[in-house]
Homo-oligomer: A and B are copies of this chain.
Amino acid sequence: MDRNDFGTSRRALLQAAAAGAAAMMPGVAFAARAGDLAAIRRAAEQGRDAAIARIQAWIRNPTIAAEKSRIDEGVAAMSALAREAGFQTVRTVPTGGVPAVFATLDVGAPKWMGIYFMYDVKQFDPAEWSVPPLEARIVDRPGVGKVIMGRGAVNQKGPQGAFLAALHAFKTSGRTPPVNIALIAEGEEEIASPNFLNAIRDPQVTATMKKCVGVIIPTAGQSANGNATISLGAKGAVEMEIVSSSKSWGRGPAHDIHSSQFARVDSPAWRLVQALNTLIGPDGHTPAVEGFFDRVTPLTARQKALIAEAARKSNEADAKKALGVQRWINDESWEQSLIRLAEQPTINIQGLVGGYTGPGGKTILPHRATAKVEMRLVPDMTKDDSVAKLKAHLAKHGFPDVEVNVTGGYGPNQTPEDAALTKAQQAVLTRAGITWALNVRNAGSWPGVVFTGDPLRLPAGQFGLGTGAGAHAPDEYFVIESINPKIAGLTEQTMAYADLLYEVAAQG
């Protein structure tokens, strides 16, 4: 999952006992649920070490879609994890790319709940890490607590492991889940899910998923101060390489040549600079692609009010410190920065690579240069329309030969504030005594549009307690035992998933 760092409100977390929390619920259903949750909690506590070991083993088996590495191993591990957690059917679903895994746990309940997993992880450079990134070491992190550190720890194997731990706890405590569960696990999330819709379109997957009340992606959703966020949507993301080359230009050298020749031979690298320069406004961040904002739906008054509330309840200084940022774009306010996170579509340069990139210099005229770029989209922008506008813009500005090679992506997703799934999330968090806020839209992206869009049109959202850091970065970690009492450790995370299943079952 492509996380963002959205700071929310600060309030004490009450690690409410299931019995106490259940006092908020009426009648017979409540009594059964309270008893079940107590038994499940005991099982979760007994299964804690096994759950940690399960997450560690998963981290040690990294599937990296960008490098097409360990795909078979990733499918096998994902399938085994599902089977061991109690799923009765587990199937590999071809997508045309890295396959998906689909699993069902049908207990004969009236309702189905959808769960989205990703089993791939982002690339990493061990030289940048303080520990080997694939050992999944338990590390005492000062000021944080005990964490599992490794690639994929928080993004997304740790939270997914906590969800699986809940199913194990149902099983070992002899309790039947209150809903049927459909699990769809993707292996290409980190390359922007280029083929995931093909998995959804599989007839069995479509038919089963359509029965679901909604889809949850397990997430370590508490910020550093313990607050939780219920995201009502996420921006879309489209990954691409923008390439200037002599081959497509018909000018410049066919291969890298001596740089003195630039006196008389055209330069694809300068052409890339000039083409890129047309894509961004003079302020250095506003997309200048013609028509890019045509389909942008402004935030509603309600959405802006929610953001204003989030701004009041969260700490700007903490966010700036975590990001290493001294000032926001245009020296804007904290609230305005949060509005931008939700509302602003972007065209970001992830990387520039062309010609000689090693130490020192090398007197060459490169025949090719590339920018790795990603667009973030907001409702009602779409992937295809945005890419088409980008290409048309380049052509109109005299760069028809500059290639736009899209490698993956999807549009934005949005779920109504009053969806049953959203209400269930709110109830679970409130009962657990955790301060939560509605997040209008996550600036980070996940392929929720696969669920919120055609053919399923389901509510979809991220859910989970606990925290972590370092997604896509060195020293990624997932907290299993927090120094901060407001942050859930592994067992409380597990219990939140168990409670969510009951709440989804209970919601009208």
- A contact set with B: CB distance below 8 Å: 2-5, 65-67, 122-123, 191-192, 235, 237, 239-241, 246, 250-267, 269-274, 276-277, 280, 282, 284-285, 323-329, 332, 337-338, 340-341, 344, 346, 348-367, 369, 372, 374, 376, 407-408, 442-445, 471-473
**Nearest chain B residue, comparing its CB with the CB of A361:** B239
Contact across chains for A3 and B258 when beta carbons are under 8 A apart: yes
Instruction: State the number of copies, please.
Output: 2
- Which residues of the other chain, B, contact A123 by a CB distance below 8 angstroms? 358-360, 362
Contact across chains for A471 and B258 when beta carbons are under 8 A apart: yes
Contact across chains for B254 and A324 when beta carbons are under 8 A apart: yes
Of B257, B264, B350, B445, the residue contacting A329 (CB under 8 A) is: B264
7 residue pairs from A and B, CB less than 8 Å apart: A66-B359, A123-B360, A255-B473, A258-B471, A266-B285, A352-B357, A355-B372
- Which residues of the other chain, B, contact A349 by a CB distance below 8 angstroms? 267, 269-270, 273, 354-355, 366, 369
Most buried by B among A191, A352, A354: A352
- Which residues of the other chain, B, contact A4 by a CB distance below 8 angstroms? 258, 260-261
Contact across chains for B350 and A361 when beta carbons are under 8 A apart: yes
Are A237 and B273 also in contact (CB < 8 A) when A264-B344, A326-B250 are? no
Are A269 and B329 also in contact (CB < 8 A) when A260-B445, A261-B323 are? no
Contact across chains for B191 and A360 when beta carbons are under 8 A apart: yes
Of B66, B280, B366, the residue contacting A360 (CB under 8 A) is: B66
Inter-chain pairs besides A258-B472, A261-B443, 12 sampled, C-beta below 8 Å: A2-B258, A192-B361, A237-B363, A239-B363, A254-B323, A260-B443, A263-B341, A265-B323, A266-B285, A357-B372, A361-B407, A362-B372
Contact across chains for A67 and B277 when beta carbons are under 8 A apart: no
- Which residues of the other chain, B, contact A358 by a CB distance below 8 angstroms? 66, 123
Are A362 and B355 also in contact (CB < 8 A) when A258-B472, A332-B264, A367-B324 are? no
**Docked pose: A65 CA to B362 CA in angstroms:** 11
- Which residues of the other chain, B, contact A346 by a CB distance below 8 angstroms? 259-260, 262-263
Contact across chains for B350 and A352 when beta carbons are under 8 A apart: no
Contact across chains for A263 and B376 when beta carbons are under 8 A apart: yes
Contact across chains for B361 and A374 when beta carbons are under 8 A apart: yes
**Docked pose: A350 CA to B360 CA in angstroms:** 11
